[in-house]
Structures are given as structure tokens and as C-alpha cells.
């Protein structure tokens, strides 16, 4: 068996594609009208000289059809594609109309049609297109089914953890963080390039005014939430509330636990939406006293969340919002939630995101960038880390919850855009003014989280003007591109399996 010399063909290929220097081909096939005929006639010419294998050089998009045609001739070919185009990387310019994009689309459709039917047969082409569009079932894999095969969140977080271990061994904290962040960006770009990250890592911010496709909240529920949240200045909180209420799938008669209820706003909210049997627990007695003063419609108790005083299978639903990061043993707490949930019961949970936007908390973000420990103690500067053992990345949170036996049905990252220093403004300035009753009645009615329905909405009120400004900054979160990396919150819906 004789082979075409790979070295000479490779050199000829290089001359054609780069230098464009003249050369004298040994064989020329001038008669073919299409790829099929070119394969048949070329194979015949080469076999006359005893050649049974060759390099196949053609456009990368055309290669698959060419390989099929040459395989049918019995000639062994090695693909050598040229003009391998750049994979779009999500830049804005990729979406601008250009004339060459029309040419690319024509070429791609031509190759697709060429693989359907034999050449120069218009009737067969029409029949083939119709059959392709009507007879072939469209695959519709669910997100959870895809994640059973490959979970890009886990893969990327494992990669980041490995990079941190490798990079931080011999470098300064600042240099290590810079290199680690560069590696993270490259990993995410790679996942985008292979198409895995689009469905699995794309941010899923739930717009305040755009209900999800399968929302369990009615229009009147959303109207009620809008009234209750009218005073809310924390835009991440404002987004979390409708999402978590939707996740809970509340029905009249449900027994619901707010685990870490704080001052009871969620208990008040759930009580306005449905007729429920509500229970609220927290380790902070002062916050429970506040909830009692607000007359929330729930039984309240101070408990250790790591050891809940409830029987197995007691609750239909459990809400746990901004609590897990405060607990020393987060996995133990989630196991307790699993224990007290009824089979088929739902956990709706939120935690702060470890990769939060700089503008949300620039003080701690800067401290972390310098390789220092963030400010964890609550004081005059209240940051995102206050009284927190940890913040979470999606993959870490997924592991914590799923290890308990709960099945995650939804995991979303929320609130990318933020008004500068909003966390400091709301919690270091606004919250003490309310808790120490330092505001005049009129201003308090437009600032207190529990008094949204008392607010007239007048823009002559400076607090209403401030909240309006925060909303304008937050509106961009309704239209995220999908490639954002920083978020304020992670929200999760998980269910206890029915065995």
C-alpha cells in the first residue's frame, strides 16, 4: 500500500494557506460538479497510481460532508481542516449585523442541506428539509438531567479551588488572587466556548415585574408583595422576597416554619398571602420581641437551629433566608431541615454570594482583594460579612444542601448591578435610625420595612426619592446579559423526596 507523503502535502498546504506561493500539483481533478463527484473522481485518479490514503484539505465547515463522501469511495483520508473560525465569546460586537455574517449563515445552511439529500435534486432537497423539520423529535433535556451527566458549577468550583491551592503556595496574596481570578475567567470562557455554561451557569435573576413561566404566585399575590415592599431600600432583599414566596408554593392550611425568622417580616408577608399555620424560630430573643410587637401571625420560639425541637416530618414548607451563613455547622442545620420536612415538602433558602459586586460592599471587597480578613464584627461599618461564618459560591451551596438528601429544583444567582455603597447606606445608616426610633413618624412610615402599606408614595418625601434612585440602579438587573460573574444573593428551591 502506498500513501501520499504527509510531509510534502503538509508543506504544500502551508504554502497555499499562508504564503500563497505557486506550486505544481501532481494530480488535478477538473470534472466534478459537487463534493460527491469530486470524491469519486479523485479516488479513481489516485488509485491508478496505487495511492490508497491521502490528506483531505477543505474548509472546516465543509469537512464533515467531505469525509462522508470520501468514506463511501473506500479511500482512507485524514482530515486537515482550514479556516477554523473563532467561537463567539459573548462580546457585544458578536451581535452586530455584518455582511460577512450573512455569508456565514448561507454557508452553514448550504452544508446542512447538502448532508440531507443527494446533489442536484431539488425535490429530494425539499422532501429532506420537511422530513428533518417534522419527523425528528426535538430534544428537550431538563437542567437537572443534564447536571446528572455534567455539572459545570461543580466542575468550575473544583477548578477554582485547585487553582487557589496551586497559586497561593509561592506567591503573595495579591498576586495569587490576580492569577486565580485570571484562571477563573479563562475557565468560564472555555465553558462558554463548548456551550456548557449557557444553560447551566447563566445567571437567572428573576425580574420583579416579570413572573417566571411556571409561577405559583397569582397576580393579586404580586400586587400584595409590591405594596408590602414599597419601603424596601435593599434591592437584593426586594428581589429575594417574590422569588422565595414563589418557591414555597404556599397553599391554605400549610404548616410553615420560618427558620431564623428575625423580626418576622417574612412571617407577616406569608400571613397576608395565605391562611397558614406559621411558626417562627430564631436564636436572637430581641428580634423575636420585635416580631411580637409587630404582631406577626405566628408562634414564636427561641431555639438552637442545629437542634430543632420539632418531630420528624412536621412541616410542609420551610423558609430559611440569610441564615445559613450565620451558623457554625451549616450541614448539620440542613440535615435538621430535612428531618422536620414532610416527604414532598419544600425548602426555600437564600444566602449571600461569595463573589459579590464591588459596589455592594466596596470596603470588604477591597480588604479581600488585599488578601486580608473581611470585617465580620457588627459595628459602625456594617458590611456583607457581618456576623457571618462564610459566604457561598453556587457549587458549595449545592453540595451542602444535596448532601442532606434534599433534591435541588432551582438555584439562582440574583442582583448583579448595585447602587454604590447601598449595603452601608441601608444597614449602617438607615437600620439604626429605625431600630432606635430616631425618625419622625412621616419618615418612618416610608422607611420601616413593616410599614410599606402606610407609605403614600409622595416624592416630596426624601426617603421615597432615595428608594426611587435605588430602584433605577436596580432596574438593570431585569435585563442581564448572561455572562455576569458577581451577584449579591443565591436563592434555592429544594424538595424532600417522597419515598
Q: pLDDT tens for residues 79-135? A: 877 765 555 544 555 555 555 566 667 667 777 666 666 666 667 667 766 766 666
Nearest-CA neighbor of 349 among 416, 402, 273? Answer: 402
User: d(Cα 202, Cα 210) in Å, to the nearest integer?
Assistant: 18
How far is residue 125 CA from its own chain's centroid?
Answer: 40
Of 80-84, 141-145, 244-248, least confident by mean pLDDT is 141-145
Comparing 185 with 198, which gets the higher pLDDT?
185
- Where do the DSSP E strands lie in 379-430? 407-414
pTM of the model: 0.60
153 three-state secondary structure: helix
Of 72-86, 137-151, 242-256, 416-430, least confident by mean pLDDT is 137-151
The rounded percent of the chain whose pLDDT value lies above 70 is 69
Strand partners, 351: 490
Judge contact between 377 and 386, C-beta under 8 A: yes
The CATH number of domain 207-495 is 3.40.50.150: yes
Strand partners, 412: 491
Q: Which three cell numbers stand for residue 449?
A: 420595612
Comparing 49 with 391, which gets the higher pLDDT?
391
Q: How much helix, strand and coil, in percent to the nearest 5, is found in the chain?
A: 50, 15, 40
User: d(Cα 316, Cα 342) in Å, to the nearest integer?
Assistant: 6
Is the pLDDT reported for residue 11 higher than 70? Answer: no
Q: Which three cell numbers stand for residue 121?
A: 435534486
Query: Region 353-363: what's the mean pLDDT?
Result: 92
Is the pLDDT reported for residue 1 higher than 50? Answer: no
Q: From residue 38, how far is each of 33, 66, 113, 380, 496 by CA, in Å?
A: 7, 9, 18, 78, 61
Is the pLDDT reported for residue 225 higher than 80? Answer: yes
296 three-state secondary structure: coil
For helices 152-167 and 394-402, angle between their N-to-C axes, nearest 10 degrees: 120
Query: Region 45-55: what's the mean pLDDT?
Result: 85
**Cβ atoms within 10 Å of 265's Cβ, excluding its own:** 22
319 three-state secondary structure: strand
pLDDT at 29: 84
Phi first, then psi: give them for residue 260, nearest 5 degrees: 90, 55
Cβ within 8 Å of residue 17, ≥6 positions away: 82
Comparing 353 with 24, which gets the higher pLDDT?
353
For residue 314, what pLDDT band results from cuts at 50, 70 and 90?
A: very high
User: d(Cα 179, Cα 157) in Å, to the nearest integer?
Assistant: 16
pLDDT at 138: 57
pLDDT at 111: 72
User: d(Cα 319, Cα 249) in Å, to the nearest integer?
Assistant: 11
Q: Phi/psi zone of residue 253: left (φ > 0), alpha (ψ -120 to 50 degrees), beta?
A: left
For residue 8, what pLDDT band results from cuts at 50, 70 and 90?
A: very low
CA neighbours closer than 13 Å in the CB half-sphere of residue 368: 18
Of 151-160, 195-204, 222-231, 305-314, least confident by mean pLDDT is 195-204
Cell numbers 467561537 correspond to 87
Judge contact between 491 and 240, C-beta under 8 A: yes
Amino acid at each position: 500500500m502506498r500513501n501520499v507523503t504527509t510531509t510534502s502535502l503538509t508543506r504544500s498546504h502551508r504554502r497555499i494557506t499562508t504564503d500563497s506561493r505557486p506550486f505544481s500539483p501532481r494530480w488535478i481533478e477538473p470534472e466534478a460538479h459537487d463534493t460527491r463527484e469530486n470524491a469519486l473522481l479523485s479516488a479513481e485518479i489516485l488509485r491508478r497510481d496505487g495511492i490508497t490514503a491521502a490528506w483531505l484539505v477543505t474548509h472546516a465547515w465543509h469537512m464533515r460532508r467531505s469525509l462522508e463522501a470520501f468514506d463511501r469511495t473506500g479511500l482512507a483520508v485524514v482530515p486537515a481542516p482550514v479556516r477554523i473560525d473563532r467561537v463567539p465569546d459573548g462580546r457585544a460586537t458578536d451581535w452586530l449585523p455584518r455582511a460577512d455574517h450573512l455569508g456565514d449563515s448561507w454557508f452553514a445552511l448550504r452544508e446542512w442541506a447538502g448532508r440531507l439529500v443527494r446533489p442536484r435534486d431539488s425535490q429530494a432537497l425539499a422532501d429532506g428539509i420537511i422530513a428533518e423539520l417534522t419527523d425528528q423529535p426535538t430534544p428537550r433535556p431538563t437542567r437537572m438531567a443534564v447536571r446528572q451527566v455534567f455539572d459545570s458549577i461543580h466542575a468550575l468550583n473544583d477548578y477554582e479551588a485547585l487553582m487557589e491551592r496551586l497559586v497561593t503556595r509561592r506567591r503573595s496574596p495579591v498576586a495569587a488572587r490576580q492569577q486565580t481570578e485570571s484562571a477563573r475567567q479563562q475557565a468560564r470562557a472555555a465553558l462558554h466556548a463548548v456551550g456548557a455554561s449557557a444553560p447551566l451557569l447563566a445567571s437567572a435573576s428573576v425580574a420583579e415585574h416579570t413572573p417566571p413561566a411556571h409561577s405559583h404566585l397569582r397576580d393579586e399575590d404580586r400586587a400584595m408583595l409590591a405594596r408590602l415592599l414599597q419601603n424596601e431600600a435593599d434591592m437584593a432583599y426586594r428581589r429575594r422576597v417574590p422569588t422565595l414566596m414563589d418557591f414555597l408554593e404556599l397553599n391554605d392550611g400549610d404548616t410553615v416554619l420560618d427558620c431564623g425568622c428575625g423580626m418576622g417580616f417574612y412571617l407577616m408577608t406569608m400571613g397576608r398571602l395565605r391562611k397558614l399555620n406559621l411558626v417562627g424560630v430564631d436564636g436572637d430573643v430581641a428580634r423575636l420581641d420585635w416580631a411580637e410587637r409587630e404582631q406577626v401571625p405566628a408562634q414564636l420560639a427561641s431555639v438552637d437551629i442545629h437542634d430543632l425541637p420539632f418531630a420528624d416530618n412536621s412541616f410542609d414548607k420551610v423558609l430559611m433566608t440569610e441564615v445559613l451563613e450565620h451558623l457554625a455547622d451549616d450541614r448539620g442545620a440542613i440535615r435538621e431541615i430535612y428531618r422536620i420536612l414532610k416527604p414532598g415538602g419544600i425548602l426555600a433558602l437564600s444566602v449571600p454570594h461569595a463573589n459579590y459586586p464591588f459596589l455592594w460592599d466596596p470596603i470588604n471587597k477591597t480588604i479581600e482583594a488585599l488578601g486580608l480578613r473581611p470585617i465580620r464584627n457588627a459595628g459602625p461599618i456594617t458590611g456583607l460579612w457581618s456576623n457571618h461564618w462564610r459566604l457561598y459560591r453556587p457549587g458549595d451551596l449545592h453540595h451542602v444542601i444535596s448532601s442532606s438528601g434534599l433534591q435541588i429544583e432551582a438555584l439562582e444567582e440574583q442582583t448583579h448591578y448595585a447602587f454604590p455603597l447601598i449595603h452601608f447606606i441601608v444597614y449602617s445608616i438607615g437600620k439604626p435610625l429605625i431600630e432606635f426610633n430616631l425618625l419622625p413618624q412621616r419618615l418612618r412610615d416610608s422607611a420601616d420595612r413593616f410599614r410599606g402599606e402606610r407609605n403614600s408614595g409622595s416624592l416630596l418625601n426624601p426617603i421615597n426619592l432615595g428608594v426611587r434612585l435605588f430602584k433605577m440602579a436596580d432596574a438593570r438587573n431585569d435585563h442581564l446579559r448572561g455572562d455576569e460573574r458577581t451577584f449579591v444573593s443565591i436563592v434555592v428551591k429544594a424538595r424532600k423526596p417522597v419515598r
